[in-house]
């Protein structure tokens, strides 16, 4: 996975928003995940296929975060989503 990888939500998850947070159920694994405001925004953005670099560009416009920190944290979060089977990656 790198900044040019295209990421999208898998179809095996159901989510709902509660205030500024997202609660997600991985249907196949039967596990719940809770996302903070920024993670919730990433989840919204990847409803449609999106390059990781574009995700970072969008987040930097919406939140006060440096490019280096954004890339590092987005890649880390997407790795967690991938490990949980919640996203698809096209390199």
List the chain domain ranges.
7-84
CA distance 77 to 62: 17
Q: CA 46, 57, 17, 78 torsion: positive or negative? A: positive
pLDDT per residue of the chain (91 residues) written in tens, 0 to 9: 999 999 999 988 888 888 878 899 888 888 999 999 899 999 999 999 999 999 999 999 999 999 999 999 999 999 999 999 999 999 8
What is the per-residue pLDDT for 20? 74
**Domain 7-84 belongs to what topology?**
Outer Surface Protein A; domain 3 (3.90.930)
CB 35 within 8 A of CB 74: no
């Amino acid at each position: 996975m790198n900044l040019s990888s295209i990421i999208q939500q898998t179809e095996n998850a159901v989510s709902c928003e509660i205030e500024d947070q997202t609660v997600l159920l991985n249907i196949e694994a039967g596990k719940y995940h809770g996302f903070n405001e920024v993670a919730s925004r990433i989840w919204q953005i990847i409803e449609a296929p999106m390059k990781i670099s574009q995700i970072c560009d969008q987040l930097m416009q919406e939140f006060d975060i440096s490019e280096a920190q954004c890339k590092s944290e987005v890649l880390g979060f997407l790795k967690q989503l991938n490990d949980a089977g919640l996203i698809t990656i096209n390199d």
